Amino acid sequence: MRSLRRVVVLWVLLIFVLTACGEAAAPFGATSVPATPSSTPTLLPDGTRVLIAPAPFNPPAVDDEQRLVMTGSTSGPVTLDPALLRDAGAAFLARQVFRGLVRLDNDLQVQPDLAERVEISANGLEYTFTLRAGATFQDGTPLNAAAVAASLDRACDPELAGGDGFALPAAIYLIDILGARERLAGQADEIAGIQIVDDVTLRITLERPVASFLFKLAGSPGWVVDTNTATGTNWWREPNGSGPFKVEQLKDDGSIVFSGWDGFWGGAPGLDEIVIRGGVDALQPLNQYEAGDIDITSVPFYAVDRVLSPSDRLHPDLVVVEQLSTTFITLNVGAAPYDDADLRRALLAAFDRRKVAEVMFDGKVRLAEGLVPPGILQRDWPAEYPAVDSRAAAAIAASGEIAQRPRLFEPGGGISSAFRQVLLRDAGLEVDAIDVEWPVFADLLTTGRLPACVLTWIADYPDPANFLTAMFRTGSPDNYMRYSNPEFDALVDDAEVEPDEARRAELYLAAQQLLIDDGVLLPLYHDVDYTLVKPWVHGLTITPIGILSLEDVWIAGSR
């Protein structure tokens, strides 16, 4: 999922450009994420696997005010419609309001959510979900099998994307369901593979057995909306939710107030209210944290060294978690001048990617050895890169045969500016570094109009497919660079249905290497999250893909 990365301050940028080498990045331990897409299932004699929902959270009885305050965006979300979500920040907000059949827990394993029981057939094609009896939407409307089926069908409705269903997120997350392709294409009025067995039982049949299906179903297109009220363009501003919190206030400047919903079928949340400051009130969050005005904040890059020091008064509040995210440069092979494979490879080989992690970020992030973050499938994902060499790029620049000056877009500007300066200094090649605000960048990105960009991709679920298949398979709605290679497609397609985990990894490694050999991808770093959490905030977990949910959080102790 797309996200803004940290903005790098100018003096760090200058250090990167002017120095020949940097200190080695601090070593990081591998992030541990599950090798299978669910908690350990029960295996029945016929080969059926069964998952049972964990016991609900019961917040302790305390007298403290159950109110959590944090900062958000300086502008409001484009949408909170689960069928249309495109960025991690909006997904975090929507996840508090909407939930689906399954969810990722804080260990990034799939757990039943609205479903209290999931049965997976021995051949991996049928998933039977037994829903929680008596579950409702926030207005009391029954949340039954028919409501779930209608919501999944809506997420595949091509009318949500102006008639192009394959531009919807569901074209990634729900595409494995039998009949979903036809629904996305507008060739069917409903998804054939979704069967309402009875009021509390839903059966989903897949086209083929896909190892990551439950991971995908936990994504936003699988979250349940009330299709009777989810009409028009702004319904999500006052939604009839299916999650633990209600939207009480949503302003255009990004200010949001959530209230706890006592009727949530997963158990009443511990918090009565969540206040997310937006607009000018979201500025200078570290100062607000120090003043005691907010309870949680990410640490800006310039302050990381300070809070890492044991002598700093904020150090006891610090939580450091490696993230399953990758920042990388990617080039559009269909856009001039990047349609020239020799130029693509020369440009990327002239840029020492190691210095981004080691010098620009002073070892505070992890050098990316590949696009897939380490720890996914409990392994590393190394790739081979050509030696850093500017001679080929210099020769191309000297030849004068580049019809159009290369452009590199980025929301933030740090890496693209460094790329420009390095190519000019070492190869005599002029590159335009174009810094654009996130809304403009996101629009150019999702409409396929960027010739090249610096992008941060945060995992929605911990599987290689979320990075490789989602972003580079032909026809994927998140394939923003319009990359198309039949060999790559065959590798990731085979990997998705491969039951042997070691063989799956081999296929994905080969696909990753092909992207690098084709000169369309240069992985730079995996982010590390530095977060401050007040000592009176309990039950908050920061996972390798960020904070997932807040219903298990409660407040106890002095503010």
If asked whether residues 351 and 478 sit together in one domain, one would say yes
374 in a domain, yes or no?
yes
Q: What's the domain range around 436?
A: 324-526
The verdict on residue 511 lying in a domain is: yes
20, pLDDT greater than 50: no
Q: Is residue 103 part of a domain?
A: yes
Question: Can you state the angle between helices 414-427 and 10-18, rounded to 10 degrees?
Answer: 20
Mean pLDDT confidence for 449-478:
93
According to DSSP, the residues that pair with 204 across neighbouring strands are 127, 194
pLDDT for residue 447: 87
Query: By three-state DSSP, how is residue 14 classified?
Result: helix
**Res 60: pLDDT:** 85
Kindly state the tokens that stand for 335.
């856009």
Identify the CA nearest to 356 among candidates 526, 530, 529: 526
Q: Are 222 and 358 within one domain? A: no
Q: What CATH number has the domain bearing residue 485?
A: 3.10.105.10
More confident position, 439 or 552: 552
Same domain, 373 and 515: yes
559 Cβ neighbours under 8 A, 6+ residues apart = 292, 534, 536
324 within 8 A of 528, measured Cβ to Cβ: no
Judge if 204 and 338 occupy the same domain.
no
Same domain? 511 vs 381: yes
**3-state percent helix, strand, coil for the chain, nearest multiple of 5:** 30, 20, 50
Mean pLDDT of the chain, nearest integer: 90
Whole-number pLDDT of residue 19: 32
Residue 33 belongs to some domain of the structure: no
What is the H or E stretch that residue 524 is in? strand 521-526
User: 531 has which bridge partners?
Assistant: 298, 319
Residue 30 pLDDT grade (very low, low, confident, very high; cuts 50, 70, 90): very low
In total, how many domains does the chain have?
2
Question: Same domain for 461 and 363?
Answer: yes
Domain stops at, among 187, 207, 237 = 237
CATH of the domain at 173: 3.90.76.10
User: If 0-12 CB within 10 Å is exposed, 13-18 middle and 19+ buried, where does residue 347 land?
Assistant: buried
Q: What was the pLDDT predicted at 493?
A: 94
pTM of the full predicted structure? 0.86
User: What is the average per-residue pLDDT within 409-429?
Assistant: 93
pLDDT for residue 394 is more than 80: yes
410 and 507 share a domain? yes
Q: Is residue 549 part of a domain?
A: no
Q: Are 541 and 547 in contact (CB under 8 A)?
A: yes
Q: pLDDT tens digit string along 226-276?
A: 999 999 989 999 999 999 999 999 998 889 999 999 999 989 999 999 999
Q: Is residue 424 part of a domain?
A: yes
Q: Are residues 490 and 380 in the same domain?
A: yes
Q: Is residue 550 part of a domain?
A: no
Lowest mean pLDDT among 36-50, 157-171, 366-380: 36-50
| Residues 329 and 477 reside in one and the same domain | yes
- The burial of 390, by beta-carbon neighbours within 10 Å (0-12 exposed, 13-18 middle, 19 or more buried), is given as buried
pLDDT of the residue at 446: 86
Asked whether residue 228 falls in the same domain as residue 334, the answer is no
- pLDDT tens by residue, 97-134: 999 999 999 999 999 999 999 999 999 999 999 999 99
Please state the separation of Cα 272 from the chain's center in Å. Answer: 27
In a domain, 554, yes or no: no
Share of the chain above pLDDT 90, in %: 80
Domain boundary among 183, 215, 237: 237
Over residues 187-233, the pLDDT tens digits come to 999 999 999 999 999 999 999 999 899 999 999 999 999 999 999 98
Read off the pLDDT of residues 467-483 as tens digits, 9 standing for 90 and up: 999 999 998 888 999 99
**Residue closest to 96 by CA, chosen among 555, 559, 557, 547:** 547
pLDDT, position 351: 96
Question: Is the pLDDT score of 13 beyond 50?
Answer: no
Q: Is the pLDDT of residue 14 over 60?
A: no
Q: How confident is the model at residue 4 (pLDDT cuts 50, 70, 90)?
A: very low
pLDDT of the residue at 12 = 34
